[in-house]
Amino acid sequence: AETVTAACLPELLPLYYRRLFPFSQYHRWLSYGGVTKNYFQNREFSFTLKDDIYVRYQSFSNQNELEKEIQKMNPYKIDIGAVYSHRPNQHNTVKSGTFQALEKELVFDIDMTDYDDVRRCCSSADICTKCWILMTIAIRIIDRALREDFGFRHLLWVYSGRRGVHCWVCDEAARKLSVAARSAVAEYLTLVKGGEETVKKVQLSDPVHPFIKESLAVVRRYFTDYALVGQDIMGSKESMDKVVALVPDDILALCSFILLYVCIFSYQASSKKSYYTEEEIMLQYCYPRLDVNVSKGVNHLLKSPFSVHPKTGRISVPIDLRELGQFNPFDVPTISLICKELDRPRTAEEEEASVRERDPDGGEIFSDYKRTSLAKYVKLFDQFVEEMERSRKGELLRRTDLQKDF
Amino acid sequence: MLFGGRKKKGVENPQTELYGHCLQLYTQPPLENISLVEFEQFAVDRMKLLKTVENLGVTHIKTSEDYSKKLHAEISSLNFPHRTEVSTFIVPAVASEYEKRRKDHISHFILRLAYCQTEDLRRWFIQQEMDLFRHRFNDLSPKSKSDFLHRNSLQYETISVEEKKSLMEKLINSSYAFSGCTVEEQDFYKVPFQDALDLVRMRKVFVKDGFAYVPHQDIVTIVLNDYRTRLSKALALTARSLPVVQSDERLQPLLSHLSHAYVGQDYSIQKNIGKISLEQIDSLSTKSFPPCMRQLHKALRDSHHLRHGGRMQYGLFLKGIGLTLDQALQFWRAEFLRGKVDADKFDKAYAYSIRHMFGKEGKRTDYTPYSCMKVILSNPPSQGDHHGCPFRHSDPELLKQKLQSYKISSGGINQILELVKGMHYQLACQKYFELTHSIDDAGFSLNHPNQYFSESQKLLTGGKEVKRELDSPRRPHAAAGSENSKAPPETPSSSNRVPQEVMDDLDSFFQEE
């Protein structure tokens, strides 16, 4: 399937970019209401073209230029970078040292390969419905924390196209965060630490911070299904040994091999020492693993929503958190599917609808994407941008009201 | 600052108010005239103080009583201000206290000149100044602390009793050793989370709706954050006006000597370029590489791949030991091609980043090999990574097994594990060096993987000494207390403008124990 996709891309991409990619909403998103001058114009995009050619520092004056360039280049992948002090495509003309990354959304990248040590069903780039639960857990935990602890409101969660999810935090305050602040937030959210050389990756001690308690509550809901049933971690000696490796010696000394299951998951230590063995095991198996470096850098580029994944052909679509439990990465439309759907003969009502619709900028767009499986995702994206707009207007009103009082 | 002949007595000085508190954030530069002698003396004294701060920080836990006592002793002996029972009203009249505060003020600004030039110098300076500040702030009485906060306009709102009650459980669980009583008694400040990053990062504070709820006792972290930001900005500004200062012949030699004095080598300038052949690397990795690089090399050979963190740490290290760009490209390419990467992909993706490391792409900065501090403190390894410091990042059990496989004696392993337990990672690595080279005393203070390599090579090949201005920094006071000093070879800077006594003073500082 992968080689088939790669071979078809040169044909399908032009179609996708000409008739399906939601340029209007995309531009609306990244303009952020035009509140800051040149915000869209100073944004860096990067393209990965055929034959792995990579071009950075692309920037555009308006939606039209963006469209034309993408339709011309037909990139295999689009990344979004920071908003700079000058137009990125002119960075060479700027005096050295003055070209700076100023703002960018706070982003998170959760990748299934980071969980290879705790999933038996798949490894590396493969995923399946059994291990996808890990993403569901990650989204629930991080979404809650970003909203309730940090007060962020405009979060866009996107399926990366193959084996993970991205989160774009678009609040104004988030876009203005410094490198230090981004890394502090990422570290606050980090509980699983350690590489190949570390066996026990979660260590809890008193007091248990409220954030950890909230996260544990989520993990508990899914643990049995994910780890005990789906991954069957107690199902083989090898797998069970890995669990045992996480148990402190003093508890182990008390129980035999057979009782281990009972001991870990229902035993209450009566000694004065605090044990969080059960929690630590759960967290090590299920808690989200972030790549802190992705979140830290203001100038770090991240794959754009609605970009195509060159290996799977799947579109990076927004995820509806209201239906998170039902999200299935294998149902996400591929570029070949939606291009095929375009070729379906139009029904009479679709014909009418497309004629009635007109692009606000004056051109005529037949909103082709509405005829395809992409439709519901573009609608979701639309709602997201709409909500930010409403919030901006509300904020503006509040500020002018305050001024009126003087 | 203007320099001239006479020193002015400062009691009528309009800066009296500035010295109203023994602690300050150095927001206003000194505006008086000062003699060259005093200029140098102040600078040297503060340098000594910061060096002590650094050494104590490596060998002690920063909040321990031992640390506080030793640092306090040094502050006193060098005549800097510390917690004082002297009432602020009579400070101007108590000349000695006033003098101390003035010295503190001026010496800080002088050192800014010496330490603003490079990223490494700035980072070091900020780190030591922050540690010093933290100690001095924690030493203050509660009233003094509040006084300080008010003087520096760090006003954050405290939360109401009702809010405290509703959040009681969460507040108790957010801070170590907090009970219901402690929460009730203390004031909690509602601080925007961006102003309390260190507390947020470590989850040492309750966070809700974008605010951190900081107990009064932790307010020092907030202040430190503020201090670090200001100092960082100030140093950047200072760097811009440096050329003017450096053109003053009276100051240039001293400032230059000061900034070279502590850092030692950063291994950015390659010596021995091309003297290593690729065939030697396998055997060198077991003989002369520190464990962090040995581990990376083995992982690379085993899986024919390393992730980004590992490529950076190991790649820059190889550059530091003398590999040329061509050798590096050949080395990585050969290994990656044995794995899943094809020639095309290597040339397009990985080759770029190797050239980047050598300064041939993009910003064209020549990246410097990571020091131990950097390896230990930044970018901890996650699943699939092999970089980092084994003494810091490996499970003690796994570390033990690894050391056993390296044929270290069990006595030696225990010593190493003890040091690791005390968080003395560099000392642990030094001990490893001593054990693997069968010597009692390494004779240097380890702070850089490339230093490990060159010291090892020196030992194994009978050492050709390369004369450098100032070599490896002196060994910090070891917890075990062994008093072994080895004078590093050094040649002071050539200018004769600064009085010889001052230069001797600096030199002897680095030679004495």
In-domain check, residue B102: yes
In chain B, which residue's Cα lies nearest the Cα of A292?
B379
Does residue A348 belong to the interface with chain B, where contact is any CB pair within 8 Å? Answer: no
Asked whether residue B141 is domain-assigned, the answer is: yes
Distance CA B271, CA B319 (A): 10
Same domain, B116 and B183: no
Q: Are residues B102 and B207 in the same domain?
A: no
> Mean pLDDT across the stretch B113-137?
88
Residues B33 and B178 in one domain: no
For residue B379, which residues of chain A lie inside 8 Å, CB to CB?
A: 292-293
Judge if B96 and B65 occupy the same domain.
yes
Q: Residues A343-383: pLDDT tens digits? A: 777 676 666 666 555 545 444 455 688 888 999 999 999 99
Q: What pLDDT score was predicted for residue A314?
A: 95
**A97 interfaces chain B, CB cutoff of 8 Å:** no
Domain match, B193 and B172 both: yes
Give which of A55, A80, A63 is closest to A28, Cα–Cα. A63
Neighbours of A127 (CB within 10 A): 20
Which residue blocks in B304-382 are alpha helix, DSSP H?
308-321, 325-337, 343-345, 351-357, 372-377
Q: How far apart are the C-alpha atoms of B108 and B42, rounded to whole Å?
A: 9
A111 is catalytic: yes
Question: Which residue type occupies A336?
Answer: S
**Residue B3 counted as domain residue:** no
Indicate whether B82 and B209 sit together in one domain.
Answer: no
A203 touching B, CB under 8 A?
no
Check whether residue B214 and residue B231 sit in a common domain: no
User: CATH number for the domain including B34?
Assistant: 1.20.930.80
Q: Domain tally for chain B?
A: 3
The answer to whether residues B252 and B282 belong to one domain is no
| Token code pair at residue B208 | 């809700």
Residues of B in contact with A154 (CB under 8 A): none
Residue span of the structural domain in which B162 resides: 152-220
- Paired strand residues for B191: B212
Please check whether residues B44 and B70 belong to one and the same domain. yes
Distance from CA of B143 to the nearest CA of A (A): 29
pLDDT band at B92 (very low <50, low <70, confident <90, very high): low
From A103, A109, A278, A280, active-site residue: A109
More confident residue, B290 or B265: B290
Q: Tell whether B376 is covered by a domain.
A: yes
pTM: 0.65
pLDDT, greater one: A358 or A54 = A54
- Chain A contact set for B213 (CB, 8 A): none
Nearest to A105 by CA among A46, A32, A23, A191: A32
Across A193-200, average pLDDT: 85
Query: How many CB pairs below 8 A link A and B?
Result: 115
Q: How far apart are the C-alpha atoms of B220 and B138, rounded to whole Å?
A: 7
Closest Cα in chain A to B193: A150
Q: Which residues of A touch B172 (CB under 8 A)?
A: 207
Per the annotation, does B22 bind a ligand?
Answer: no
Instruction: Judge whether B300 lies within some domain.
Output: yes
Q: Give the residues across from A111 on adjacent strands.
A: A164
Instruction: Please classify residue B420 by burial: count the beta carbons closer than 10 Å to its beta carbon, then call 0-12 exposed, 13-18 middle and 19+ buried.
Output: buried
Nearest to A52 by CA among B326, B341, B365: B341
* CA B126 – CA A255 distance, rounded (Å): 52
SS3 annotation, A12-24: HHHHHHHHCCCHH
CA distance to partner chain B, nearest, from residue A46 (Å): 15
Which residues 453-512 on chain B approach chain A with CB closer than 8 angstroms?
A: none
Same domain for B315 and B446?
A: yes
Q: Which of A150, A185, A293 sits opposite B379 (nearest CB)?
A: A293
* Span B168-187, average pLDDT: 83
A320 catalytically annotated: no
* Statement to judge: residues B146 and B157 lie in one domain: no
Position A140 scores a pLDDT of: 97
* Residue A111: strand, helix, or coil: strand
Q: Does residue A117 sit at the B interface (CB-CB below 8 Å)?
A: yes
A181 and B390: CB-CB below 8 Å?
no
Residue B502 has pLDDT above 80, yes or no: no
Q: Distance between CA B125 and CA B54 in Å, rounded? A: 10
Asked whether residue B116 is marked as a ligand-binding residue, the answer is: no
> Distance (Å, rounded) from C-alpha A175 to C-alpha A156?
13
DSSP, collapsed to helix, strand or coil, labels residue B33 as strand
Please tell me whether residues B487 and B444 are part of one structural domain: yes
Chain mean position to CA A366: 29
pLDDT in tens, A247-276: 887 777 666 555 665 655 554 444 456 678
The residue in chain A having the minimum alpha-carbon distance to the alpha carbon of residue B378 is A293
Longest pairwise C-alpha distance within chain A: 76
